[in-house]
Each structure stands twice: as C-alpha cells, then as structure tokens.
Amino acid sequence: GPLSAYNVSALSQNQILKNALERNDILNGTQIVANSKTSEEDKITINETVKYLSLKHRPYESQYLPADFIYNDENFSKLFGFSPTYSRYSTLDSKGESNNYYFDFNSAMSTKNYDKLFVVNSLYSPGNKTYGNYAMSNNGGRIKIDYKDDKKEFNLITFTTREIYDKMIALKKSKDILDIEDLAIKGVAQNIRYKILFTSISGYPMEDDELECYVEFYLLVASEE
C-alpha cells in the first residue's frame, strides 16, 4: 500500500544522500568515511540532506548517519571531513523545502473512473520496474512507461523529472499549498486512459544547469474498450 509522506521523504532523501556519498567515495558499505576532497556541489547536497534527515526525521532512520548523530557544524565536520556548505540556493527564487513536494496522505485523492492503481516507488536512474502490464524505466531522469500484453505493445507516456520539477517550482510561486491534482499528468493512449499523481518530488540543482530529481507517483489506468 501507499507509504506515509513521512516515510516517502526519508526514502527519497536517503537515496539522494547515498548518490552524493558514492560519487565522492565517502561510503564504505554503509559506513561514512570522511573525505575533505568532496566536490563543492556535493558538499551542499550532503549538508542539505543530512540537515533535513536530522531535523525532520530521526538519525537512526537514515541508512548512513550514526544513530546518535546530532546535527551541528562540529559534528558534521568530524563525520564528513569538511564544513557544512550552504550556498546553492542563493541564486534560486525558491529556497530550502520549496524544492520538495510531499503529498499529505491524509488528504483526499480521487480514483474515480480508473480501474487500477499502481504505487511506483524507488524508480531510480538507471532502473527498470514492471507493474502488471506496465514496464517503467528511468534513464537520467527520463521516465518511460510502456504497455505490453499478448497482442500489443506501445508507449503509454514518456516524461522527464525536470518537467515535473519545473512545474512544481512554478506552481509554488503562486500557491502556498499544492494539491496532488496540480501536478497530475492525464491522457489516453490506444484506448487506455491514464493519470499520474505525484506523491513525492525532491529536486537538487547541480552544476551546468543539471538537476538531480527523484519522484514517486501513483499510476492510475482504465481501459476505454
């Protein structure tokens, strides 16, 4: 069944942290090994995710932070081998948590006119998952959803996490609280009606206008035949 927004946010932040740690050879299994030569961009990513996990969650819920970790400059520097870096969002209109969206699972969500609902979690790049007749892939933030049965195979929809992230940022400039329908993608492909409802979006701008973005969503489908 659906994860709580609390657990979804922990999962997505842990994955972003893991990616940054692995890029800089800071992980030995699940143990953190200090590395002062970490890239400047990843210093920011690591600080932001560690701060988020420490303040919004409990350290032992992270796969990588020590269970007794308390976030402050001294403890952070001892653990990672460099001081916290805060500069990424200085050039952005949105700051901090504005770069994230988590659906409040206590809120209402309509599934009317759809027969099936698939909960799509942990679709990391590069990666593939299959849900019934639907095959999904994530290659560099390009998510492709294909339908396949004994008689036919076709692309249901392809979208990029960048498109979803940019739409979220634009909407947050005009709305304090986003509704799950605000970011929905709807359409029909070869008599299959679909709707994608995003339950988690976490975006981190990188160098050269690159974006590391992780999304989780519900895929709702119905046959029009």
Answer whether 0.95 is exceeded by the pTM.
Answer: no
Q: Of all residues in the chain, what percent carry a pLDDT higher than 70?
A: 87
Q: How far is CA 122 from CA 33, 91, 114, in A?
A: 25, 30, 23
Reported as a pLDDT band with limits 50, 70 and 90, residue 139 is very high
Q: Which of 29-43, 109-123, 142-156 has the highest mean pLDDT?
A: 142-156
Q: In this predicted structure, what is the pLDDT of residue 6? A: 54
On the question of pLDDT at 32 being above 90, the answer is yes
What mean pLDDT do residues 89-105 have? 55
User: Cα–Cα distance between 45 and 24 in angstroms, integer?
Assistant: 12
User: Cα–Cα distance between 173 and 94 in angstroms, integer?
Assistant: 8
Q: Which of 65-74, 166-175, 190-199 has the highest mean pLDDT?
A: 190-199
Q: In this predicted structure, what is the pLDDT of residue 96? A: 41
User: Cα–Cα distance between 128 and 144 in angstroms, integer?
Assistant: 9
Tell me the per-residue pLDDT of 105-133, one tens digit each, with 9 for 90 and over: 667 788 889 999 998 876 777 889 999 99
Helices 40-56 and 73-80, interaxial angle, to 10°? 130
User: Cα–Cα distance between 154 and 130 in angstroms, integer?
Assistant: 14
Tell me the per-residue pLDDT of 188-203, one tens digit each, with 9 for 90 and over: 999 999 999 998 888 8
3-state secondary structure of 139: strand
Of 38 and 212, the one with more pLDDT: 38
Of 113 and 91, the one with more pLDDT: 113
User: Cα–Cα distance between 121 and 140 in angstroms, integer?
Assistant: 16
